[in-house]
Amino acid sequence: MKKIITLLFITFASLVLAADAVPPNKYSLSVGRVYESKPERPEWVFIVGGTSAIRGGETVCKTPATLKTLLKGLPRGSTLDWWPTCSGESEALAGHLDDLKKVCTEAGIVFTIHPSG
């Protein structure tokens, strides 16, 4: 039993260390409206993905709080770009933007907002 616990501990510790060794990457943030939501009460999701030409690997968060948790786990030195395309997208994060900036700064992530139009 001790050998199993020791083996599990070593495996877990190596995974934790490997996560710290993940190189920084470029990420993009998108905000999407949930199709089934009512027009008078829109619901939004927050999508974080890589910036490569190949789609896939996006992660969707249902709340700004979950988005903040996800951002805290990105590798230090990463970049996160957001191009809000409409007022709805901006409104979806309006009350959370300062917190997102703070989380990114504390996590060592460069967060850039590219204003539209």
95 domain residue, yes or no = yes
Backbone angles phi, psi at 114, to 5 degrees: -105, 100
Look at residue 108 and tell me whether its pLDDT is greater than 90: yes
5 domain residue, yes or no = no
- What pLDDT, on the 0 to 100 scale, is given for residue 56? 66
13 domain residue, yes or no = no
- What pLDDT, on the 0 to 100 scale, is given for residue 36? 93
11 domain residue, yes or no = no
8 domain residue, yes or no = no
99 domain residue, yes or no = yes
How high does pLDDT run on average in the chain?
A: 81
6 domain residue, yes or no = no
Structurally, the chain folds into a number of domains equal to 1
Domain CATH code at residue 101: 3.30.420.10
Q: Return the exposure string of 39-51: e unless at least 16 CB atoms fall within 10 Å of the residue's CB, then b.
A: eeeeebbbebeee
For residues 64-76, give the mean pLDDT. Answer: 94
32 domain residue, yes or no = yes
- What pLDDT, on the 0 to 100 scale, is given for residue 90? 79
For residues 31-51, give the mean pLDDT. Answer: 89
Residue 43, domain extent: 23-113
For residues 33-61, give the mean pLDDT. Answer: 84
- Cβ neighbours around 31 below 10 Å, total: 19
What CA–CA distance (Å, rounded) separates 17 from 75? 12
- What pLDDT, on the 0 to 100 scale, is given for residue 92? 86
Q: Decide: pTM greater than 0.85.
A: no
Res. 116 pLDDT band, cuts 50 70 90: confident
For residues 46-65, give the mean pLDDT. Answer: 82
